Amino acid sequence: MQIPHQDMIELKQQTHRNSRSGYGIEKFQELMWTRIAVCGGVPHDASGNFLFSFCHRIGSCDILWAELRGILDGLELLWNKGFRKVVIECDSEAALELVVSGIAENHPCSSLVHQIRSLINRNWDLDLVHPFGEANKAADHMAKMSHILSEGLHVFCYPHEDLSSILVADLYGPLVHRLCVC
């Protein structure tokens, strides 16, 4: 997705639960049956410059809860860092639908949705979008990294070594051949 304004910030967030790829087979095997949910994101400016990254080892929860937690984490971090023109990409249509349309009070995710909607109603230029295409590899990497960290939210001011090469690939997009029939 192209960011519409030069001064806008884009956050692509990703959520996982027990992904097989990532950080060491021994650590993965240890976590494999614990149903640990994680999320992560890598905000960047309109030129693709890294701003910060985050990951959150949430613990045992529903995948929808984890998707919503990733949106909430991203919104809170961006607001607290002073960004007011933001595009959030979330690959979960279900999470976006709950945020946009609202939620029943007895729904298990209602408290998270209310927190997100409260943040959305603040004074900023914010778009929530569901992207078409391949997953964001940088956000995917950050989410997977949560599996080897302690439970909770982790914020990084600089891209670590593994993330730097992924950021370059995300900036220039995947080299994917698509079949177009006219």
- Residue pair 104/77 in contact (Cβ under 8 Å)? The answer is no
pLDDT at 35: 72
DSSP string, 168-179: HHHHH-------
- The token duo for 150 is 């302690």
pLDDT at 133: 58
Reading phi first (left if > 0) and then psi (alpha if -120 to 50, else beta), residue 48 is in: left
Q: Which domains does the chain have, with CATH numbers?
A: 9-172 (3.30.420.10)
> In angstroms, how far is CA 20 from the centroid of its own chain?
18
pLDDT at 6: 56
Residues 6+ apart with CB under 8 A from 98: 64, 68, 107, 109, 113
pLDDT string in tens for the chain (182-residue length): 444 455 667 776 666 555 444 444 444 444 444 578 889 999 988 888 899 999 999 988 888 999 999 999 999 999 999 999 999 988 889 999 999 999 999 999 999 999 999 999 999 999 988 886 565 788 888 888 888 899 999 999 999 888 888 888 766 765 544 454 43
pTM of the predicted protein model: 0.79
Treating both helix axes as pointing N-terminal to C-terminal, what angle do 63-80 and 93-101 enclose, rounded to 10 degrees?
Answer: 60
Cα–Cα dist 41/53, whole Å: 6
pLDDT at 134: 60
- The token duo for 153 is 């939210």
